[in-house]
């Protein structure tokens, strides 16, 4: 079906390519309440997430591209991707594990970002299972890939439920000690992908502390209280309300690009992390996770230069990322929650994005 279209007007044929000798495609998940999630096995990326707004209008709430060709050349390589082997940053692109130093690619100033030059976002995953509601993808990262030790086998599962949830599950094992931090890097705009600014979105984050960073976005160390600062989202605030405040962390990041230390994490059970809503569409997203942290990123480096889905442009701060994960630079911070995975151990993590609508 070369002319098959998704609800978000994606042409399925544009995702059938061969990348590094492996076939890519677009997979469509739907539920009985009008939701549609599309995923490509290139980077295990969410390409579109279309759902009804308060008036029943179909609204695609994540940014992305119309084809694999555009993803391969995008200035935003993390659109919708699973990031690994280590999401976020590792300082000076090096860490020591069991007495041995490992050197990584410095692809973000002096630091290693999102697994290096060819992290999990830039490889073709194997589709292990797919049906109308769920897809399971697997990637085997070779020992030494991007400088990381151990052969790591990772699976990610996307599930679309009938009660409005996108559930993302992760599972990983290794044959040698390694470090691991996985996240999904979807860029959300609940007013619709292509809406020019997320400053009017109302946001709650269930966190009493955040991690200040240096000029290269590496945590300085000890957490600081959000209380009395523009980082305090314990009660609802518009995202743009304080984003240009005279506050050093926001000046360094050109907006929000910080890890929040989530409250209320129950062992193995997803806990409430955040709530975000758009006044334009009434779409609400509640976020739950088993992870200890969440990186809030407000698209501060988006330029509007690239062509997104259906010809839309994505200017600066036209999307929000909620990257549930462990803390940045944890391999070099013994005081942070551990990120070492050893043979015989199983890494498991889950994040749930639950969507609903509210009236004006």
Structure token pair of residue 286: 């509640």
Q: Report the C-alpha gap between 330 and 166 in whole angstroms.
A: 28
Whole-number Å distance between alpha carbons of 167 and 164:
10
Q: Alpha-carbon distance 196 to 281, whole Å?
A: 14
State how far the Cα of 275 lies from the Cα of 290, in Å rounded to an integer: 16
3-class secondary-structure state, position 22:
strand
The three-class DSSP label of residue 150 is: coil
Q: CA–CA separation, 218 vs 92, rounded Å?
A: 9
Please provide the size of the chain in residues.
360
Question: 213 with 279: CB under 8 angstroms?
Answer: no
Residues in CB range of 311: below 8 A, 6 or more apart: none
Cβ-contact 349, 290 below 8 angstroms: yes
Residue 323 is a catalytic residue: yes
Can you name the residues that pair with 52 across neighbouring β-strands? 58
- The dihedrals phi and psi of 222, each to the nearest 5 degrees, come to -70, 140
Smallest CA-to-CA distance from 184 within 318, 336, 260, 297 is with 297
The C-alpha torsion from 109 through 114 and 120 to 121, rounded to 10°, is -80
From the list 65, 114, 121, 185, the catalytic residue is 185
| 326 given a catalytic annotation | no
* Count of beta carbons in the 10 Å neighbourhood of residue 175: 14
From the list 36, 121, 323, 326, the catalytic residue is: 323
Instruction: Identify the bridge partners of residue 120 per DSSP, sorted by sequence position.
Output: none
Question: Contact, 219 vs 211, CB < 8 A?
Answer: yes
Q: Which residue in 183, 186, 138 sits closest to 339, CA to CA?
A: 183
Active-site annotation, residues: 185, 323
């Amino acid at each position: 079906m070369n002319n098959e279209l998704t609800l978000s007007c994606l042409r399925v044929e544009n995702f059938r390519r061969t990348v590094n000798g492996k076939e890519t495609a677009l997979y469509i998940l739907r539920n009985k309440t009008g939701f549609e999630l599309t995923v490509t096995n290139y980077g295990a990326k969410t390409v579109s997430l279309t759902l009804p707004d308060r008036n029943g209008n179909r609204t695609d709430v994540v940014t992305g591209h119309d084809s694999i060709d555009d993803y391969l050349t995008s200035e935003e390589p993390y659109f919708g991707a699973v990031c690994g082997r280590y999401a976020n940053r590792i300082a000076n692109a090096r860490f020591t594990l069991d007495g041995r130093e490992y050197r990584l690619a410095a692809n973000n100033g002096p630091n290693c970002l999102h697994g290096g030059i060819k992290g999990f976002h830039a490889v073709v995953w194997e589709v292990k299972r797919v049906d109308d509601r769920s897809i399971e993808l697997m990637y085997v990262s070779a020992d030494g890939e991007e400088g990381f030790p151990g052969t790591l086998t990772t699976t990610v599962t996307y599930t679309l439920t009938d009660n409005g949830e996108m559930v993302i599950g992760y599972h990983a094992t290794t044959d040698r000690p390694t470090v691991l931090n996985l996240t999904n890097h979807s860029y959300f705009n609940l007013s619709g992908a292509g809406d020019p600014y997320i400053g009017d979105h109302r946001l709650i984050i269930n966190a009493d502390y955040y991690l200040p960073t240096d000029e290269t976005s590496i945590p300085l160390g000890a957490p600081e209280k959000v209380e009395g600062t523009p980082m305090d989202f314990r009660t609802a605030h518009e995202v743009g309300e304080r984003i240009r405040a005279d506050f050093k962390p926001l000046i360094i990041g050109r907006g929000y690009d910080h890890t929040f230390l989530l409250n209320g994490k129950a062992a193995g059970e997803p806990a409430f992390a955040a709530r975000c809503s758009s006044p334009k569409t009434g779409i609400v997203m509640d976020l739950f996770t088993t992870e200890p942290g969440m990186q809030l990123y407000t698209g501060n480096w988006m330029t509007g230069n690239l062509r997104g889905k259906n010809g839309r442009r994505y200017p600066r701060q036209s999307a929000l990322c909620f990257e549930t994960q462990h803390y940045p630079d944890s391999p070099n911070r013994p005081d942070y929650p551990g990120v070492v995975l050893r043979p015989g151990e199983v890494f498991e993590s889950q994040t749930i994005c639950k969507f609903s609508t509210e009236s004006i």
